[in-house]
A and B are shown apart, each in its own frame.
Chain A
């Protein structure tokens, strides 16, 4: 059928005439080469950008602009001595970083990075034949979001195994903090992905991308904006980045759960952390920023059956996707350069007392938006900017502000009742004790 090798590879990436070729291609090109490479240069970018935030230059000794620094670091990590503590549970100790890395890599497997090809597909709801973009996703799962949430929660298992198997009190403390934090922030993270599912009517990430290509980006609505913000905050906590980096707080517990790891095993933790940063940025881009689509202009019209148009559109779309992802990653660097680490109790109260209620309320407001705008007009955001749309923006916007205000007021009341500084001091010793009586009299 297809003779041209380039065309064959392309066709297999976007559709499946040769069933095993896309798997091999994605594994070798994407997951073994491109993603680790991107992560390596993310580390370089973080060092450069963090340096600029502090009026410094950053790495510039290895290669021009320090561009060979990641390679030098990798060589250093690989050649270092690999130490597994004698008291450690060896198998688990070795397994833990691998589990973390696998969790981050599996997350990337359902992300639609581009436009793919336009194919005909039967809509299961209406039985009508509709145009469907394959989205250039490594795997297209009908319930991709569910899968993604499942594999991303593997990370807390990896972290806890690392901390537990090291047999080191700092590692265990870090792991305990980490599990508490990851489990807590997973709730608002998952809840804030639901509005996207609601608007698109599918759990498939490719489906969500398709919906945004047609309906407009989901972020361009008050509930979408709030959900995106909650998603970003919870994602930063999920990947243990500042200001939520308590699990590896170096000033308190050395390095947290990876205290006992050295050489490339530590490198794997490092890789996994940045890989999951990349993964959550890709997720947020896909769910709310419209994946590889441009605002106000759909690349869909440029797609045809010719190879040239497909390559062009997908190159453009992957570029747009990368730009959005890099912007989100930059925001993470920026937040890290700005905010100090949170206190443990505030971390927990922020998740459970603010983010979780807000994301539940936001879900209701998203349903309001869905009923006013998406369902009647079949446009989520800017497809149809009219009086209804503006009315919906004002209504849901006011509802969001009201929700945040009420939550804030409740939190204030809660703080006034529980803040130790606001409770009048009292004696810790029962004053009925005879020796306390004498001390008090004196």
Chain B
């Protein structure tokens, strides 16, 4: 048993940390980093979606808690939660052709879909409905990785909680559709990448050709798929 000098030193170390939370960084004031409502406010809370975004570097000192619902950490571009289906803003076309590749690669097999049919009974390259069981999805991103049409992408929305877990956790086509503009906003780097630009141009070219064909003879081609609003 020593004389306890190490215990005293340890106490000074912890006391220093304690005092520094009041003296440096965020702890110096009662204010929140992103502004907004103050800790002493009873009822004023930031409206959902307007919470300040707090980023902390390795140099953050003192208090470093991010008070989640009122403040939030930024989501990085590669951050992924659940898959979404993308429709193009210009023409409202769903990119998905219902090829079923995503359903095949999905490791927990949580994707299934039905193929759309034209009035004549022939299959049309778009999904009639598309389901993902969100309780089963393991956020691996394989579906987005394998999709040949860049139609299924990983979203960043992680606030999925609700009060019902039987019906609402199976997302249908309506729940899954997001616009390409939204995707361009959440994934600016991927949107501007050479791969995706080339893919978009290819698809656009195909669509133009199809349009020309349709304009040339409406009776010859298959019926144009209905736009999904």
A411 lies within 8 A of B62 (CB): no
Q: Which residues of A contact B10 (CB under 8 A)?
A: 338-339
**B1 interface residue per 8 A CB criterion:** yes
Q: Which residue of B lies closest to A66 (CB)?
A: B39
Please indicate the chain A residues that have their CB under 8 angstroms from the CB of B22 in the complex. 52
Say yes or no: B42 contacts A64, CB within 8 Å: yes
| Closest residue on chain A to residue B61 by CB atoms | A55
Among B11-19, B183-191, B203-211, the stretch in contact with A: B11-19
B40 interface residue, CB < 8 Å from A? yes
Question: Chain B contacts of A56 at CB under 8 A?
Answer: 63, 65
Contact, CB under 8 Å: B63 / A55: yes
Complex: A12 Cα to B42 Cα, angstroms: 41
Across-interface contacts of B41 in A (CB, < 8 A):
64
B11–A334 contact, CB under 8 A?
yes
Determine if B1 and A415 form an interchain contact, defined as CB atoms under 8 angstroms apart. yes
**CA A412 – CA B3 in complex, angstroms?**
11
| Contact between A53 and B63, CB atoms less than 8 A apart | no
Would you give the 0/1 interface string for A35-57, flagging 1 where the beta carbon is closer than 8 Å to chain B? 00000000000000100111111
Known contacts A408-B3, A415-B1; decide if A64 and B14 are in contact (CB<8 Å): no
User: Is residue B97 within 8 Å, beta carbon to beta carbon, of the partner chain?
Assistant: no
Q: How far is the CA of A96 from the CA of B70 in the complex (A)?
A: 43
Contacts of B17 in A (CB 8 A): 53-55
Q: Which residue of B is nearest A53, CB measured?
A: B18
Nearest chain B CB to A425 CB, angstrom units: 24
| Residues A337 and B67 in contact, CB atoms below 8 Å apart | no
B3 touching A404, Cβ below 8 Å: yes
A433, B49: Cα distance in complex, Å? 79
Q: Given A55-B21, A412-B1: A334 and B67 within 8 A (CB)?
A: no
Cβ B39 vs Cβ A64 within 8 A: yes
Q: Please, how many residues of chain A have a CB less than 8 angstroms from a CB on the other chain?
A: 23
Q: Give min CB distance, A344 to chain B, whole Å.
A: 15
Residues from chain A with Cβ under 8 Å of B1 in the complex: 350, 354, 408, 411-412, 415
Check if B194 is an interface residue, CB within 8 A of chain A.
no
Q: Is A304's beta carbon under 8 Å from chain B?
A: no
Q: State which of B11, B40, B42 has its C-beta within 8 Å of the C-beta of A338.
A: B11
Q: Least Cβ distance of A288 to chain B in Å?
A: 20
What is the minimal beta-carbon distance from A376 to any residue of chain B, in angstroms? 33
A63 at the B interface (CB under 8 A) = yes
B149 at interface by CB-CB < 8 Å: no
Q: Contacts A64-B42, A408-B1; is A334 near B63 (CB within 8 Å)?
A: no
In contact, B39 and A65 (Cβ under 8 angstroms): yes
Interface: B7 (CB within 8 A) = yes
Report yes or no: A337 in contact with B14, Cβ–Cβ below 8 A: yes
User: In the complex, are the beta carbons of B3 and A57 less than 8 A apart?
Assistant: no
B37, chain A: closest CB distance, angstroms: 10
B204 to chain A, nearest CB (A): 50
Given A63-B42, A64-B39, verify A55-B14 contact (CB < 8 Å): no
The proximity string for B residues 50-64 relative to A, scoring 1 for CB distances below 8 Å and 0 otherwise, is 000000000000111
Residue of A nearest to B65 (CB): A57
Q: Which residues, 47 to 91 on A, are CB-close (under 8 Å) to B?
A: 49, 52-57, 60, 63-65
B48 to chain A, nearest CB (A): 17
Q: Is A335 an interface residue (CB 8 A)?
A: yes
Using an 8 Å CB-CB cutoff, how does the interface string of A383-407 with B read, 1 for contact, 0 for none? 0000000000000000000001000
In the assembled complex, how far is the CB of residue A411 from the closest CB belonging to chain B, in whole angstroms? 5
Residue of A nearest to B20 (CB): A55
CA distance A424 to B10 in the complex (A): 33
Complex-state Cα separation, A350 to B2, whole angstroms: 12
Residue picked from B2, B13, B65, most chain A C-beta under 10 Å: B65
Knowing A64-B39, A65-B40, A408-B1 touch, does A339 contact B21 (C-beta < 8 A)?
no
27 A-B residue pairings within 8 Å (CB atoms): A52-B18, A52-B22, A53-B17, A53-B18, A54-B17, A55-B17, A55-B21, A55-B62, A55-B63, A55-B64, A56-B63, A57-B65, A60-B67, A64-B40, A65-B39, A65-B40, A334-B14, A334-B15, A334-B18, A335-B11, A337-B14, A339-B10, A350-B1, A354-B1, A408-B3, A412-B1, A415-B1
Q: Given known contacts A64-B41, A338-B14, what 18 new A-B pairs fall within 8 Å (CB)?
A: A49-B18, A52-B63, A53-B14, A54-B17, A55-B62, A55-B65, A60-B39, A64-B39, A64-B42, A334-B11, A334-B14, A337-B14, A338-B7, A338-B11, A338-B13, A404-B3, A408-B3, A415-B1
